[in-house]
Structure 1
């Protein structure tokens, strides 16, 4: 078995959804909400590439210096192949020592520096490590986030730039944001700190500049996929590449650098069916990065810390965790046990886009008084968890509409109608921790019930998820109904109202609007970069 074998099933062709998607014929004011909640079919298409956690780790650490004159860039990268020297630090705690190798401003690019080094401010402390065996509850995840986000720092830039001071100034202004009591657009209980979020968002709008690399050939680069379960990465790519407010043509003015590849198209284009290996996909990304490093000096200035990618395919964490490890990675598969790093990475919402021409089709749902179903789930039996869910709840209780594949039956309620008519929508993990049902529940104004241990919910650094969602540990599936019934009517109504208020952050628009999902993804990347920057 090769070092990068995939132990799960090989990807299969995406089919159309196996259900009918036809359209259906307590106010609080406080600035920071981190308290714990006291009361607390979609027959998914055959999700391409979804599988049990089967991506093995990339190859072991490379030798400190590798000459690779025979490595050429992938076709259509827009540059001639060059002889590259790759320098990889085998010791993950040598970031500061690497600074002794500081490049001068005028030094030619061409050497990839510190692409595998840790971006902490020193050796990793035991208290900063994520346990690899125990399940991390949402409350523990909150504590872990606060601890790591406060201490996480990227490597110091190898030479100074005006953009660094702009980021440091922004950080100071965010930390000293004026207190907001009532805001007409932002409902305070939804956020960890609404004052800091609002100030950060304002500074992003007035300050942020992004340089997007034009290199890279289609279909892996610059070809957004706008439909299906991986559409988040495609819509972000499409909207950023067309954006004139944030995108700059002058990389010296850029605070962030966007690597415009599609993890979906990478798999679609290069994965060899039944090979159970993604070595060639990793190599393709490495070759692209080699070319960028050879052509531009910007990666080496920060060790890649000011570069970011947006990737929704399940394989993206494994494919990027070595050569793009220092990047800010916006990932749908945000699994804290599989390398997702607080303070650096961003949990990307997985949005199932059915109609690119009508992004808001069927938005909303019935009012709470007309939601007769206590809890709803329907979907394919991907992974180990969903069969357990059905074992305990399929056809066991009239209040619990828990199904496997949901067939199209004329004159019967379809999947969307069930979500619109349910109080709670069960978001059970499939092969991986992420599921489009989380965003779907919010889209249809149904309180999400997330059953996926160690899943970092979208925009976790900004939103207080416990204020509008329910988290159930996988081991507690037998007690699911009891847990939901323990939530008082008052608490449910409060959560459902908050779902409607947070909805604005999870909507795609053909032309982005303030606080929508495009801006929230970009803001999350900006926010992490602001708080990881260290002065020279």
Structure 2
């Protein structure tokens, strides 16, 4: 091998090593699954994404505040187009209280009167359903459930969420505590707001441990903020009240989620590295929870806390949407789920 060839090979090897090392470093210091692509992809979404909203048969309402806020934000956003031919996705609106038979009639009407559903059997459509839809025998509901993107509330009942297709809305915080930088001096290992369920097995197991602060409700928002900011971990039971998980992240309190099975409907699962910003503890090891938090996550806590604070902006709901807030991050997930691209001129990023 000539000296020139060897030098070229050495340069290429060094470039490859540097590139790989840079990617690994960015992943270790970022809460995102794809830290190098989220910004350009997000910008592409802002510039190009178009949604066509079908006209509902009648006025309707949603059961949850998060659904209502998302729909209002969508209606008033620049993503909406009145030209269906330029739309990337189509939104099918119907009330949260609508029966499955009535939903089937809605889909049937769109199929008979509007051509867009039939081109993809609904694969470029999405809808809101807080509890999610189960499996039904009606063909229209089968197409809606299997093909269209469902946006539901977190947590979604078992069987009503299809991973990698469906999206869950981050919970709307029950109380908006005023923000302040997290206190690095933790007074408690773990904080648990149990919502008044005093007979909870979890409460009984932990209530006498001085490292755990357990209460049904803090006296005021300032106290709540202090609880979050001075605790290393914040405990949540999957399936119960998880409304404070975004605020826990914001105040540097690493969420510790008790669950009896792998969670498939976490908000922003294809955006955030959840394993780096939260702890997931099997229900069967609750008695060993303290040891799990101290031994397994003690050394990693500070890094998880920092990544969680950075990720927390995605869990903020605003009446007037702001960059990277809950509304825009849900829209970003929809943008990444574009199934049908009818025009070569459209971006495939």
For residue 3 of structure 2, what is the aligned residue in structure 1? none
Taking structure 2 as the reference length, the TM-score comes to: 0.79
Separation in structure 2 between the aligned mates of residue 296 and residue 208 of structure 1, nearest angstrom: 21
Q: CA deviation at 1:494?
A: 1.3
Q: Which of 340, 343, 346 is the aligned partner of 2:167?
A: 346
Are 1:293 and 2:108 an aligned pair? no
Shift of 1:190: 0.8
Query: How do 1:89-168 and structure 2 match up within 5 A?
Result: none
User: CA shift at 1:479, angstroms?
Assistant: 0.8
State whether structure 2 residue 268 is matched by structure 1 residue 435: no
- Equivalent in the alignment of 2:9: none
Asked if the contact 1:422/1:446 (under 8 Å) is kept, the reply is yes
**Matched residues, number:** 317
Aligned counterpart for 2:23 among listed residues 15, 23, 31: 31
Note the C-alpha offset of 1:206.
Answer: 2.0
User: 2: distance between equivalents of 1:454 and 1:535?
Assistant: 39
CA distances 1:273-307 after superposition (whole Å, capped 9, x unpaired) = xxxxxxx6212222222222222111111111111
Which runs of structure 2 are paired with 1:514-525 in the superposition (5 Å)?
514-525=323-334
Distance 1:534 1:295, change over 3 A: closer
Q: Alpha carbons of 1:246 and 1:407: their partners in 2 closer, same or farther (altered >3 Å)?
A: closer
1:193 aligns with 2:34: yes
Cα distance, 1:281–1:488 mapped onto 2, change above 3 Å: closer
3-state SS in 2 of match to 1:424: strand
Tell me which residue corresponds to 1:115. Answer: none
Take 1:203 and 1:286, find their aligned partners in 2: how far apart are those partners?
34
Structure 1 residue 387 displacement after superposition: 1.9
- In the alignment, structure 1 residue 469 sits paired with structure 2 residue 300: no
Q: In structure 2, what is the Cα distance between the partners aligned to 1:261 and 1:188?
A: 41
What is the rounded CA distance, in whole Å, between the counterparts of 1:510 and 1:451 in structure 2?
Answer: 31
CA distance in 1, matches of 2:233, 2:302: 11
Per the alignment, do residues 493 and 257 of structure 1 end up closer, same or farther by CA in structure 2, a change over 3 Å counting?
Answer: same
Cα distance in 2, alignment partners of residues 328 and 464 from structure 1: 22
Match of 1:215 among 49, 56, 62: 56
Which residue is 2:205 aligned to? 392
Contact 1:231 1:353 in 2 (8 A): no
String of CA shifts for 1:357-399, please: whole Å, max 9, x gaps.
xxx6523454122x311111122477xxx822113112x2011
Structure 1 residues 243-290: Cα deviation after superposition (integer angstroms, max 9, x where no partner): 1x2110011111011123453xx2xxxxxxxxxxxxx62122222222
Q: TM-score, normalised by structure 1?
A: 0.53
- The counterpart of 1:237, out of the listed 67, 71, 84, is 71
Report the Cα offset of residue 422 of structure 1. 1.6
Match of 1:401 among 189, 192, 213: 213
TM-superposed CA distance for 1:334, in Å, is 5.2
**Which stretches of structure 1, 4 residues or more, deviate above 6 A after TM superposition?**
532-536
User: What is aligned with 2:267?
Assistant: 458
Relative contact order, higher structure (CA 8 A, sep 6+): 1
**Rounded Cα–Cα distance in structure 1 between residues aligned with 2:337 and 2:24:** 19
Cross-structure match for 2:129: 311
Structure 2 residues without counterparts, runs of 5 or longer: 1-20, 345-349
**CA RMSD, 1 decimal:** 3.3
C-alpha contact (below 8 Å) 1:31/1:188 kept by paired residues: no
